[in-house]
Chain A
Amino acid sequence: MRLTHAFVSLLYRDFTVAFRHRNEILNPLLFFSLVTLLFPLGVGPSPQLLQTIAPGILWVAALLAALLAADNLFRTDYEDGTLEQLVLSPLPLPLLVIAKILAHWLVSAVPLLLLAPLLAVAFGLEALAIGVAELTLLLGTPVLAFVGAIGSALTVSLKRNGMLLALLVLPLYMPVLIFGSNAVDTAAAGLPVSGQLYLLAAMLVLSLTLAPLAIAAALKMSVSQ
């Protein structure tokens, strides 16, 4: 009971904070669309080529947007002392971490999920492939949020940590990228994609269960500095 209450109120609090800083919601979204815009300019406007590389572009852009957003995940809470209070509270820190990441995902990734189909249409993907892209993003972005949170928790006490965060987190993002973009590719070729979706779901379960423990340990370390 106490746990549920704490979970919900932390979620509510993070929402309120996020909606009072609307820029931080918009930034990953703008970043996502800008990165996808760069590719047609870079490789040329040939529809056929763009259609082939569209799944990769969407996923790479989503991954970079997730990385950008992860940088802010614990930053303000660390600076104003909220994080310290969370670490000190008698409630289990991994659970509180899940609440924070859930709020973060709802605020930063869900708008991206809504925008992705529009961009996919612009790249000429078929309806079925777009559906699969949505599904993979739905399963994959929470994994990105959890893994990104590990890196963010490890580096939150450091100044100017953007590059370091990328170095820590991007290698760990690679499996999600592989299965995500591959599922869309396979769907565009008209083949079944249940295998990739199951694997993405497995990664989601794994990150939901294990990552909060690592994040909690990393936060304790960062706060005690």
Chain B
Amino acid sequence: MISILTRWFHRLASPVWFYRIAGKLLPWLWALFALLLVTGLYGGLVTAPADYQQGDSFRIIYVHVPAAWLSMFVYMVMAVSGAIALIWRIKLAEMVLVSCAPIGASFTFIALVTGALWGKPMWGAWWVWDARLTSELILLFLYLGVIGLYNAIEDKRMASRAVAILALVGIVNIPIIHYSVEWWNTLHQGATVTKFDKPSIHIDMLIPLLLMAGAFKVFFVISLLLRTRNELLERELPRQWVKQLVEENAND
């Protein structure tokens, strides 16, 4: 059993194999994404009832919440592949790591922007120094740091190792940052803008939310595979299998 697992692990780590498998998976993932997105959006925008307090503007959660969930999930994926890259020196893990950063930064940005758009009508302010908002903003800067460091180092293998170290330092720090910001907020300013007491969400609103969360997650996998494939081609450019691939495509 273990030997099958390790063999699978090593095969997955081989660039050629990964490129092929990812290519075969992509159409299926696109189909799944389209299905989830259409049903989720229909459920969220059409069938879900309007909120008794917030009216229709609550519907932004169908974008905001999945993006916020992913903003944290992507960092975890990034740190785990960073650890794999540092421990086993697997090139593929490095590429997954560096492909994660821009995607995670985008989701964080989306979560912040949609949050601000929702906050203006609901709280009466674009931005409040709420604990969650602040730690989300810090998370964006952590992502930007990873991207900045990767771009600053010329040698891409070195850059990936540097970024892997940074991602691991970040993952140790994220809980500390999160809780300290929460504490800072509760001690400093109390409730200037109280969040409405969140009622447990109605099932008709919950199902579309879960569908949208699924759609976002599949979209993350798609964009991760696309980016990693690009990164792979760029780095392996002089290799035989890339040449073969280009020739195959030219013949088509």
Partners in one complex: yes
Q: How far is the CB of A166 from chain B (nearest CB, A)?
A: 9
Q: How far is the CB of A225 from chain B (nearest CB, A)?
A: 5
Q: How far is the CB of B159 from chain A (nearest CB, A)?
A: 9
User: Which B residues between 170 and 211 are near A, CB-CB below 8 angstroms?
Assistant: 170, 172-173, 176-177, 180-181, 183-184, 187-188
Closest residue on chain A to residue B141 by CB atoms: A171
Which of A35-43, A61-69, A210-218 binds B? A210-218
- Known pairs A167-B144, A171-B138, A175-B176; A214 contacts B168 (CB<8 A): yes
Contact: A174 with B181, CB < 8 Å? Answer: yes
B247, CB-defined interface residue at 8 Å: no
Q: How far is the CB of A75 from chain B (nearest CB, A)?
A: 16
CA distance A179 to B144 in the complex (A): 25
Contact: A179 with B142, CB < 8 Å? Answer: no
Give the chain B neighbours of A179 by CB distance below 8 A: 180
Q: How far is the CB of A210 from chain B (nearest CB, A)?
A: 7
Q: Which of B142, B162, B172 contacts A171 (CB 8 A)?
A: B142
Bits for A153-169, please: 1 = Cβ < 8 Å to B, else 0.
01101100100100110
Q: Which of B141, B155, B169, B188 contacts A214 (CB 8 A)?
A: B169
CA distance A224 to B157 in the complex (A): 11
Contact: A175 with B180, CB < 8 Å? Answer: yes
Contact: A168 with B166, CB < 8 Å? Answer: yes
Bits for A184-225, please: 1 = Cβ < 8 Å to B, else 0.
001000000000000100010000001000100110011011
7 A–B contacts, CB within 8 A, in A order: A171-B145, A171-B173, A175-B177, A182-B184, A186-B187, A221-B158, A225-B155
Going nearest first, the 3 A-B pairs with the smallest beta carbon separation are A175-B180, A178-B184, A168-B145
Q: A171-B138, A171-B173 are in contact. List 11 more A-B contacts (CB 8 A).
A: A154-B149, A154-B166, A164-B149, A175-B177, A178-B180, A179-B180, A186-B187, A210-B172, A217-B165, A221-B162, A222-B162
